[in-house]
Structures are given as C-alpha cells and as structure tokens.
Chain A
Amino acid sequence: MIQLKHVYKTYAQGTHALKNVSFEIERGEFIFLSGPSGAGKTTLFKLLTTYDMPSSGHINVNGYNFSGITLNQVAEFRRKMGIVFQDFKLLKDRNLLENIALPLRVRKEKENYIKMKVEEILERVGLAGKADYLPDMLSGGEQQRVALARAVINNPMILIADEPTGNLDTETTDVIFDLIESLSTKGTTVIVATHDKRVIAERNKRVILLKDGEVTA
C-alpha cells in the first residue's frame, strides 16, 4: 500500500530533513509515527501528501509512483486521502455542513447525497443536529471531530493525522483515537503522528520512530 525506499529530503540550506527512510505499510494498517520535534515527521507527511517531493529515493502509494507524478494524478490521489491537522483547519465562516461537505463538493457530488452523507457522518462523530453550527461554537474536541468527519466523509484509502490530539485533554484524546481506530477497521490505512506515549502504549499498534530524520525503530 505505502512503500518508501531510501528516501532522502535535503532542503536548499543543506538541512537533511530525512535520511535513508525506508518502510512499508500494509492496507488497513494502523501506524503511529513518533519522534521528538524536528525528527522529520512533518517532512514525511508533506512527502506522503504530495506537497513535496523527495530529493532522492522512491515513494509508492497505492500504485502512485511519486517520482513521476503529474498534477492531475496528485489531485486524483488526494481525493482518495484524508488529512487531519493539529489545528483542525476548519473554515471559521462556514457551518459544519459546509466544512464537512468540502471533499464531496470537490468531487462534485449531488446536493442531496452531500446532505445525507454529512448527517450520517455527524452522527458517527457524535455531533448530530449541529450541522448549522459554526466551528467557533464548538469545543476543541468537537472541532477535531468535525475535522475528522471531513477527512473520512469520502471513505479515504489513507488517513493521515498530524498530532490530531496535540491540544486536547486525555478524555477527548481517547474519544478521537477511538474514532480513528474504528475507521481503520473498515480498510482505511491510518498514519498518525503523535508523541503522546500514553496513547501509543495503550493502543498497541505498530510504531515508526523517527530521530534526526532517520527511522530508528
């Protein structure tokens, strides 16, 4: 599903963000990506989400070879992917329906289908009946659930979450991780970046540990 072979990323200033990174992730697998700040987690996410290209090495995700990927393929690939950020990246002037419906609107789905899917996903993340709310009317945990709902509404092949619970309390963190885990059981490959040792220990999943741009475990 996801295959990285001898991936290097060196920035113009000569900083080596990633050095000889190689690993494989199977379809439907749940992976924790951990490591201290500056270890290269964000760079790796940028590469996996096609925002950046490796300086050398090969990345292959679900048949998409990133070395010669075209812009159309990038768009096509991203439609099969869901991303969750630490700061949620919700549009503050749009209600929850508009925020969650965004991936479906990109795919030009019909309005009735969009409404039906949004209501369904809101119920799954425990926010039923709040489609008209603006993001600022919700708590941090609820906002992250909205971000998660937006990421999974189009049943992605891969879900990438960058520190999704970085700003949340323990109880909310568990709710979010339960939701993420429930998604991975339906065939979605999940990669979560976190340095929350408690969560990693409790969930008992495979961990890829990064340090100074290298995979150490």
Chain B
Amino acid sequence: MNQKQKYFIHILASAFITFIMCFFMSSWSVISGFQAFFESGQNVELTAFVYEGVPEEKIQNFINTYRKHPEVIAISRQTAEESFKALKAELKIFDFQMKGVDMEQVLPQIITLKLRHLDTRLINELKLNRIVDELLDGRHWLQKNESIIQVLKGASILMAILCLSSLVLSLTLLIKTQVQIEKDEISLRAMHGESLWSLKKSYVIKSLGITLFGTCMGIILSSTAASILQTKVLTQFQIQNLAEQIKPLGPEQAFPFIAVCLLVGGIVGYMQTARFEKDFYLQR
C-alpha cells in the first residue's frame, strides 16, 4: 500500500466518522429539542368540567384568578351548549334526546387552561378548587407528556450509545485493516528494534486524530443542521415553540462529548495493537 492509498483510507475513514457523528448528533439535537419542548409543557392543556349548579360568579372568579397565574398562558371557556355541539359534531351523535333525556342539560361547561409548564403544584391547586369538579383530561395530559419525555430520554441515550458504537466499530475496522496491511512493515520495524510502545503509539495517535477530526466535524455539521432546522424549517412552518427548543450542541455538551469520544478512540487504537507483543516480540 503506497502513501497515497494510505492518505485516501484515512480521509475516507475520517469522512465516514464525520458522517455518522453528524447524523447521530443531529438526531440527538432534534430529540433533545423535542424532549425540552415536551418538558416545557407548552402544549399542556388542562380541561376542567363545571357541572350545572355552580354560580356564574364563582366561575368568573375562577377564570380571573387563574388568568393572572404566571404558569397559565390562556383560559378558554366553552358553554354546555357549545360543548354539546362540538361533541355532536365530533361523535356524530344525533339522538341525544331519543331516550327522553336532555343531554344538553346534563353536559358540563368546559374550562380549558393552557399551561406553560407541567406544574404539579398548580394542578393540585386546581384539583382542590371546588369549582372544578373533575380534572381528568389534565391528569391524562400530564401522564401522556411524561411518557413522551421518558421515550425521548431513552432515545437520547440510545443515540449516544449508537454514536459511540459506530465510532468503535468504524475505528476498529480501520485500525484492524491498517495493521493487517502494514503487518510486514510492523514486523520489520520490530525486528530492527523499534520499541513496542513506539509501534503502538503510531496507531493510538492515528486513532485519536481520526476521532478528533470526525467528532469536531460532526459537531460543526450537526450544529449547522440543527440551526437550519431551527431557523428555516420549523419557523417556516410556524412551529415556533419547538424551534426555540432545538438548539445546536453548545461547548458545555460538545467538550465532554469530544473527551468521551477521544477516550473511546484511544482505547480502540490501543486494543487493536494488543497482539503486537506476542506477534512481533516475545512469545513467552
């Protein structure tokens, strides 16, 4: 293998590692964005049912109190008649009165509170408020969001595992192939007295160099991808809340990530030279 072919393999390996790093880290950014989006709870809506018999004054009081609450973005009110119409349209039920019951009189008014965060204290407070007879939907949304957050947390961890596994796999293949190709040269160097560590060092440095290049390029490209997604795509489709949460990796995430990748790269490089002692030095 001549020098040109060696350089070509190194460039190819660096590009490949850059690609997988970029791919996984972009996915990571997006997943983290979704996670933050759901954690921020901006789409959490609590639906309170107010049944017949509650005085109008109390309902207005309730609305006025929580409208000023810092966690509440908006409050909307749907009368029994409106909720009946909505239900009728949604469920296509036309025979509410067929059994002799006036369903419109039975159905409650609906007060919908849009919350900024998943604030359990506020939810408990709402539950304790006597005007709100039920808060079923709120509980439902809370649980749903928590499940989504758990899934996204799992996905983030999975992405990190996949990212590092791909790094390990591609570096292992590269160094293994290179050692195999350069076996004759390694053997000659060992035969002429090159020290074991000196032989190993060149592969460890190679492994670290490729890891550093691939990881840094991956971070730069994934940050660019996240930035484009944030500014162009999501904003264009007016998904502002989500766009605000999808942030490119910052130094506080990038540096530990590079450090972990370098550690992994160094270990992989060293592991691939583990047989050097037996193959080229002493068969004790």
Q: Which residues of A contact B (CB under 8 A)?
A: 49-53, 69, 71-72, 74-81, 83, 89, 91, 93, 102-103, 106-107, 154
In the complex the two chains form, is A103's CB within 8 Å of B185's CB? no
Nearest residue (CB) in A for B283 is: A52
Nearest residue (CB) in B for A83 is: B191
Contact for B195 among A50, A72, A154, CB less than 8 A: A72
Among B185, B188, B190, chain A packs the most CB atoms within 10 A around the CB of B188
**Separation of A89 and B187 alpha carbons in the complex (Å):** 10
Q: How far is the CB of A25 from chain B (nearest CB, A)?
A: 20
Contact for A102 among B2, B189, B196, B282, CB less than 8 A: B189
Is B184 close to A, CB under 8 A? Answer: yes
Given contacts A71-B277, A75-B194, contact A91 B188 (CB under 8 A): yes
A-B contact pairs, 15 of them (CB 8 A): A50-B281, A51-B283, A53-B284, A71-B196, A71-B277, A72-B195, A75-B196, A76-B193, A79-B192, A79-B193, A80-B193, A83-B191, A91-B184, A106-B192, A154-B192
In the complex the two chains form, is B282's CB within 8 Å of A78's CB? no
Q: Which residues of A contact B190 (CB under 8 A)?
A: 75, 78
20 A-B pairs besides A89-B188, A106-B192, A106-B193 with CB distance below 8 A are A52-B282, A53-B283, A53-B284, A71-B195, A71-B277, A71-B281, A71-B282, A75-B190, A75-B194, A76-B193, A77-B193, A79-B192, A79-B193, A89-B184, A91-B188, A93-B1, A93-B2, A102-B189, A102-B192, A106-B194
The number of residue pairs between A and B whose CB atoms lie closer than 8 Å in the complex comes to 56
Nearest residue (CB) in A for B187 is: A89
Contact for A91 among B185, B191, B193, CB less than 8 A: B185
Q: Which residues of B contact A (CB under 8 A)?
A: 1-2, 184-185, 187-196, 277, 281-284
Given contacts A89-B188, A91-B184, A102-B188, contact A50 B282 (CB under 8 A): yes
Q: How far is the CB of B3 from chain A (nearest CB, A)?
A: 8
Nearest residue (CB) in B for A104 is: B192
Q: Which residues of A contact B284 (CB under 8 A)?
A: 53
**Separation of A75 and B277 alpha carbons in the complex (Å):** 11
Q: Which residues of A contact B194 (CB under 8 A)?
A: 75, 106
In the complex the two chains form, is B193's CB within 8 Å of A107's CB? yes
Q: Which residues of A contact B191 (CB under 8 A)?
A: 49, 78, 83
In the complex the two chains form, is A74's CB within 8 Å of B188's CB? no
Q: How far is the CB of B199 from chain A (nearest CB, A)?
A: 9
In the complex the two chains form, is A103's CB within 8 Å of B277's CB? no
Contact for A78 among B1, B192, B277, B283, CB less than 8 A: B192
